[in-house]
Amino acid sequence: MKPLIVIVGPTAAGKTETAIHLAERLDAEIVSADSRLFYRGMDIGTAKPTPAEMARVPHHLIDVANPDETWSLAVFQQKACLAIDDILARGKLPLLVGGTGQYIRAVTQGWLPPEVKPDERLRDVLEKLKEERGEDGIYWLHESLKTLDSAAAEKIDPRNARRTIRALEVIFTTGKRFSEQRGMSKSPYQLIQIGLNRPREELYQRVDARIEIMFESGFLQETEKLLKAGYSPNLPSMSGIGYRECVSVLQGQITLEEAKIQMRRITRIFVRRQSNWFRADDPQIRWFQAGKAPVDEIAAYIREKVAGR
């Protein structure tokens, strides 16, 4: 089997910087497994790699969709595997990098997403039920999913209305739990999984600093530009941490400082969820303390594994 290097870890652990340094040392290319980076025009709020960073090594699956386009898990899986196979065919090493656990596992564990066609009428009903409950609607949907399928709810971010609605859609269409319908096939790759982590308090400090930098770099202006371009604040792409808070600031519902406080709180919850998600794969992941383990040490470990030692 051909090698696939996987780099995972929580938000603000330093995955982007480490992956670029590794790619330069290993003659590799990066395949993004971060669902926030698909969308064009959403750069600051997603902490997307800068043009200068992407110029250093080839990146795939970044800026591949407009904010009003939906990339399902199945679409991502297909596109990611095509990119990985293309990289391998050209004699390069693929680095699958991201913090979105389900997108990582869809590739590494060969998930077979349920083949249930979209039911727009059902989706409209669920969306309407969410909207009728105002700001709490998104959490009401997630609680409904938890009642029907706690295993599926546990693995879906409560703020991700699109995936919650998809899970409910599959359940109502088939009469079976969503979590029971995801099959698996054997991964076609030799998986070499690297985990990057930092002490929790250090992660929180880096998150706080990142939020400040985002607003200094024009996060509010980026959000305003998206709204002026006609993109609805209710789009799934706009549910990412920060964009809804920016919309609330622009609409005069909260202050900038209140937006920052909300973002810090929500991101801390997200960091804990990411850590718990990847902990389940601990035996397969070799963890390194980002900032302490030299990149050369990680690169040497990868080379040994690729060589079969």
pLDDT for 59 equals 97
List the chain pLDDT tens, one digit each, 309 residues.
899 999 999 989 999 999 999 999 999 999 999 888 999 999 999 999 999 999 999 999 999 999 999 787 888 889 999 999 999 999 999 999 987 788 888 888 877 666 677 778 888 888 888 888 887 888 889 999 999 988 888 878 787 787 888 889 888 888 888 877 665 567 789 999 999 989 999 999 999 999 999 999 999 999 999 999 999 998 888 988 999 999 999 999 999 999 999 999 999 988 888 877 777 666 789 999 887 778 999 999 999 999 886
Cα separation, 102 vs 274, whole angstroms: 10
Residues 160 and 206 in one domain: no
Given 180, 206, 232, the domain boundary residue is 180
3-class DSSP state for residue 83? helix
Residues 94 and 218 in one domain: yes
Residues 100 and 19 in one domain: yes
Residues 157 and 45 in one domain: no
Residues 145 and 235 in one domain: no
Is 102 in contact with 273 (CB distance < 8 Å)?
no
Token pair of 209, please? 């600093």
Cα separation, 146 vs 42, whole angstroms: 30
Cα separation, 245 vs 152, whole angstroms: 27
Residues 88 and 171 in one domain: no
Alpha carbon 262 to its chain's center: 20
pLDDT for 120 equals 82
Residues 194 and 165 in one domain: no
pLDDT for 236 equals 84
Cα separation, 249 vs 75, whole angstroms: 33
Q: Which residues does 56 contact at the CB level (< 8 Å), separation at least 6?
A: 20, 23, 24
- The range of the structural domain enclosing residue 152 comes to 120-180
CA triplet 59, 77, 99: central angle to 5 degrees? 60
Cα separation, 138 vs 225, whole angstroms: 25
Token pair of 194, please? 């690297």
Residues composing the chain? 309
CA triplet 285, 102, 177: central angle to 5 degrees? 125
Describe the chain by its helix, strand, coil percentages, rounded to 5. Answer: 55, 15, 30
Cα separation, 309 vs 183, whole angstroms: 32
Q: Which residues does 57 contact at the CB level (< 8 Å), separation at least 6?
A: 20, 23, 24, 28, 29, 30
Per-residue DSSP letters for 11-39?
TTS-HHHHHHHHHHHHTEEEEE--GGGGB
> Which CATH number does the domain housing residue 46 bear?
3.40.50.300
3-class DSSP state for residue 243? helix
> Which CATH number does the domain housing residue 132 bear?
1.10.20.140
Specify the number of domains making up the chain: 2
Q: Which residues does 250 contact at the CB level (< 8 Å), separation at least 6?
A: 220, 223, 224, 227
Q: How far is CA 45 from CA 213, 216, 231, 250, 261, in A?
A: 10, 11, 15, 15, 15
Given 164, 180, 196, the domain boundary residue is 180
Residues 259 and 197 in one domain: yes
Residues 200 and 163 in one domain: no
Residues 175 and 60 in one domain: no
Cα separation, 166 vs 222, whole angstroms: 28
Residues 248 and 229 in one domain: yes
* pTM metric for this prediction: 0.80
Residues 99 and 57 in one domain: yes
Per-residue DSSP letters for 270-305?
HHHHHHHHHHTTGGGEEEEETTTS-HHHHHHHHHHH
Given 180, 195, 227, the domain boundary residue is 180
